[in-house]
Amino acid sequence: NLSGLDLRAEIDRLRKERNAVILAHYYQKPELQDLADFVGDSLDLSRKAQATDADVIAFCGVRFMAETAKILSPDKIVVLPDMDAGCSLEDSCPPEQFAAFRAQHPDHIALTYINCSAEVKGLSDVIVTSSSAEKILSQIPADQPIIFGPDRNLGGYLARKTGRNLLLWPGVCIVHEAFSETELLKLKAEHPDAPIAAHPECPAVILDHADYVGSTRGILEYAQAMTGDTLIVATEPHIIHQMRKSLPNKTFIGAPGADGNCNCNICPYMALNTMEKLYLALRDHQPRIEIDEDLRVRAKKSLDAMLAMAS
């Protein structure tokens, strides 16, 4: 029974005792973002996980992010507060089916979004994040055929933006897929001067209305730089916590789903992590990420290619 515990103080005590670093994604609950040593987008979190000299990485994010940390830092103990924190994009791309798809297109290389399993990373040539995809794509020769998976929305966005012909895997993020164009246009009519910042995991009907498209870090930088006082944010709404902290006098509105509010766009996987589970993970070193060494080495190749090409 944890009810009598000052969880924040206990987490701080264990973080020191265990020589742990707490990494958090911008889609985590505010209390987890606030106690983390570092909050970032997928690329920055990978870089932090690779560079840390802590003994333990407590990853407040989803499983593929914690797996990435373990692949890049195999000697560290990596804990994830809730092992069920998966991702619909990962689920949309079973490794056997991805391997079969690759086998059907032997002349294509596989450029793969980091939101996938370690197995799919092992079957890929280069991993990308939303903040690095365009830069990495620009380094691949124009005549090289490319499979892009698992996110068909990010892939479609990249294809439209760069004019490249990408062979898309049909996966989607259930969170970004849930935004409603009709409700967004109603909101925009109420706030005609407010720009829309959107994550590239949104479908094209949403991105078509966006003034800015980018990763979570990119959206935060756009908010910092904007001159107006209101921003409509088309990504998981917990990111708005950072905006309200650093820009308390501005107004941030989460883009709506079909029910007219942004609560249906909370990521159910990210939401599984809690203060209680983080405390237990630091105390018990469980749930812990373990990856078979042969798989880790295969997956690391495509992640190393990302880190080199994104730098």
Enumerate the H helices of the chain as residue ranges: 7-17, 30-35, 42-51, 63-72, 88-91, 95-104, 118-122, 133-137, 152-162, 174-177, 181-190, 204-207, 216-225, 240-246, 275-284, 293-310
Instruction: Please tell me the count of residues contacting ligand 13P according to CB under 6 A.
Output: 10
Selection from ligand SF4, ligand 13P, none that 28 binds (CB < 5 to 8 A by kind) is none
What is the spatial distance between Cα 295 and Cα 200, in angstroms, rounded to a whole number? 29
For residue 40, count other CB atoms closer than 10 A to its CB: 22
Q: Which is nearer to ligand SF4, 82 or 236 (CB)?
A: 236
For residue 17, count other CB atoms closer than 10 A to its CB: 11
* C-alpha to C-alpha distances, 32 to 54, 204, 277, nearest whole angstrom: 19, 32, 11
Selection from ligand SF4, ligand 13P, none that 174 binds (CB < 5 to 8 A by kind) is ligand SF4
Sheet containing 109-113: give its strands across: 126-128, 109-113, 146-149, 166-168
Q: Which x/- pattern over 37-76 shows residues binding ligand SF4 (rule: CB under 6 A)?
A: -------------------------x--------------
Selection from ligand SF4, ligand 13P, none that 215 binds (CB < 5 to 8 A by kind) is ligand 13P
Phi, psi of 3 (to 5 degrees): -65, -30
Length of the chain in terms of residues written: 311
Specify the residue for token string 């089916």: 97
Q: Which x/- pattern over 161-180 shows residues binding ligand SF4 (rule: CB under 6 A)?
A: ------------xxx-----
Q: Which is nearer to ligand SF4, 14 or 42 (CB)?
A: 42
Q: Is 162 annotated as a binding residue?
A: no
Q: How far is the CB of 162 from ligand 13P (least distance, A)?
A: 18
Selection from ligand SF4, ligand 13P, none that 119 binds (CB < 5 to 8 A by kind) is none
117 binds ligand 13P (CB under 6 A): no
What is the spatial distance between Cα 161 and Cα 138, in angstroms, rounded to a whole number? 11
Q: Which is nearer to ligand 13P, 41 or 119 (CB)?
A: 41
Question: According to CB under 6 A, which residues from 237 to 276 bind ligand SF4?
Answer: 267, 269-270
Q: Is 113 annotated as a binding residue?
A: yes
Q: Is 192 annotated as a binding residue?
A: no
Phi, psi of 194 (to 5 degrees): -80, 125
Instruction: Please tell me the count of residues contacting ligand SF4 according to CB under 6 A.
Output: 14
What is the spatial distance between Cα 172 and Cα 146, in angstroms, rounded to a whole number? 19
Q: How far is the CB of 81 from ligand SF4 (least distance, A)?
A: 14
157 binds ligand SF4 (CB under 6 A): no
Residue 53: CA count within 13 A, CB half-sphere: 0
Q: Residue ranges for the binding site for [4Fe-4S] cluster?
A: 87, 173, 267
In the complex, the residues that contact ligand 13P under the rule CB under 6 A are 41-42, 115, 129-131, 199, 201, 215-216
Q: Residue ranges for the binding site?
A: 25, 42, 87, 113-115, 130, 173, 199-201, 216, 267
In the complex, the residues that contact ligand SF4 under the rule CB under 6 A are 27, 62, 87-89, 115, 173-175, 201, 236, 267, 269-270
